[in-house]
Structure 1
Amino acid sequence: MAWNEPGGKNNDPWKNKGGRDQGPPDLDDIFKNLFGKFSKGGGGDGSSGGKSLGGMGITVILVLLAVVWVISGFYTIREAERGVVLRFGEFSQFVEPGLRWKPTFVDEVIPVDVQSISSMSSEGSMLTEDENVVSVEMEVQYRIVEPYKYRFAVTNPEQSLSQALNSAIRYVVGHSKMDDILTRGREAARQQVWQELEGIINPYDMGISIVDINFKDARPPDAVRAAFDDAIAAQEDEQRFIREAEAYSREIEPRARGQVNRMAEEAQAYKERVTLEARGEIARFEELLPQYNAAPEVTRQRIYLETMEQVYQNTTKIMIDNKGSGNMMYLPLDKILENQSNQLPRANSRSTLEGLQQNNISTSQSNNSTPSTLRSDRNRQGRN
């Protein structure tokens, strides 16, 4: 009959063992018996055997503890970090990046990042020199240069730096006007905060270096924010117009210089052309002077005919004053040339014109023209 069937209570292996009810074995009793065997020599197998087994157990435990102690001493310092080693709480040395070992419970290593740039912001409402309230927000960027001083020069370096930044901002804003903080004086305020912050933290020798300070925002009170926004927009427009004017000036100035150079070159060319033409006229008159001296009347008559030929080439109507008869002759050359254009070449029409001019001249000479009449004719020619 199975022990768990009805009527099989006496067959329960955990009860009635040794004449009394007994439950499952206790784990505490098992471990106590096990350690007792190591300490007493295996349950009474002899005094020499018990001592050897007990010493072996202690040795194994000590070896295991030593291995754990050695393994727990290995640590790694990253590339951007430097390790500050404290031996029994006192500074011992710096540790370079890499895999290192330290005696546990003797040395303590504190890794400090010395390459990364950290940032910290400060914001608050402050009173300006002209008794206006502005909300200013700035951000400081810093880097750790001396790990030991950063860890032990002050109790809390982050809090100390935050308080120093807040104090520097309030000092600068309190000695500045509201318009300067909100508009064109931001860069000057940023530089002043930087200088003031360095002056505050240098005596503490915190082991940090200020990399930069950013002027993130400056806002007026909500009641006058719209007016200040308009003022800032107007100043930005002013700067934009100034830049546009400077750009236009840089663009138009080379163009004007080019026009000046072109006009100067044109004037120089005109000067040379007029000079050459004048010299040509001088040469022509110098060649004509001997001919005039040899035959003045013939030369004057030839010059007159050549001049009249040039004048009549551009004239379609000619009026001839015949003083001898008191009549005025009208020659419609445009009509004559128009009628003869389909029959005669242009060269024949020009010869016809010359013939008419010669006939006119001969007629004027046959009408007892005096030298004074010729001079009057030349005077009319000059007026024409």
Structure 2
Amino acid sequence: MAWNEPGGGSRDPWGGGPKGGGSGGPPDLDEVFRKLRAQVQGLFGGRMPSGPSRGPGATGISLLALGAFVVWMLSGIYIVDQGWRGVELTFGRHSDTTEPGPHWHWPRPIGQVERVNVEQRRIAEVGYESMQNRARPVSAEALMITRDENIVDVRIAAQYEVSDPFLYLFNFRMPEQTLKQVTESAVREIIGKRELQYVLTEGRTEVAQETGRLLQEVMDDYRTGLSVVQVAVQDIQPPEPVQPAFEDAIRAREDEQRTINRAQAYANELIPRAQGQAARILEEADGYREQVIAQAEGDAARFEALVPQYRADPQLMRQRIYLETMEEILGRVPKVMLDSESSQSLMYLPLDKLMDRRGSTTALSGETNIDVPQERDAISPTQRAREALRDRGTR
């Protein structure tokens, strides 16, 4: 029979008797809470249900103070995440900088812990402002003047991170805004020392490097606790209203450079050729000089060899020298000399053909001697002189 069926009596599932009767009934919750409250009041002082009131007990106060102290001490436990640093302050004074991991420090109001992310790359933008994946130009920061008094639009980004958390937090007020202002000042100084053409072409890398170096020096002097990681030039260009004119100037410079390169290539081709020709001419001149010197020395030696013979018979040597000279001179003249005493046998000699053949032979060989059939009646005076000299020498 179930406990709640008719006729089951006043039994309940806890096995107790009727409500409020017997020891087997369910406990009265109101009575339980009433007894518990009375015990707590008796522990910490107060009026007991069946007795006079008394002050707080020493044991209760001690337990309460101990519990509060334990909770306060446990609140000093903190954890530093990876890439962060914890800056501990005791009575407002820096006491330690902790690494990632669990640590304990005096809780408030004695101690305080500030956490700083030292691995986050922060960016200071000069000349523009990034907004929702697009850049908005800031003309007040971007427009700068060069050394040659031209205006240029410069956009630069400086990446930095925290190197000293304590200096970053407490040594300098608004270090990030200061870094941006110093970046702008450094860029203006560097751009102001260089000309526009250099800045627009090969000077971009130098501008970034010099800006980073100068910015780091200022940050170290100010002791801001910031370290410059990289300075990147986003864009350097003329102001927008004059960009078409600058593009024309750039194209003109490119044409100029192309013409210069073409001329240089032609010069590189022509100069070695001219140098080779000059070297050949010098070699030919040296060879001609040696030839002339050798010929002169030979002529001098030949004349020196004729001196003893000239002294032995001056008249004969004069005649020989005269004949040799006349032979050389007349050999260059396109004429045929015949003996007028016995020239009947040469009446029909084809002199015109001989002269033509003599001219062609002279043009090819550079000489003027012609092989003319000589008979006994047509002997040249030179040949007669040689025969006479030969006969005299024999005698």
**TM-score in terms of structure 1 length:** 0.49
Determine which structure has the larger helix proportion and give its number: 1
**TM-score in terms of structure 2 length:** 0.48
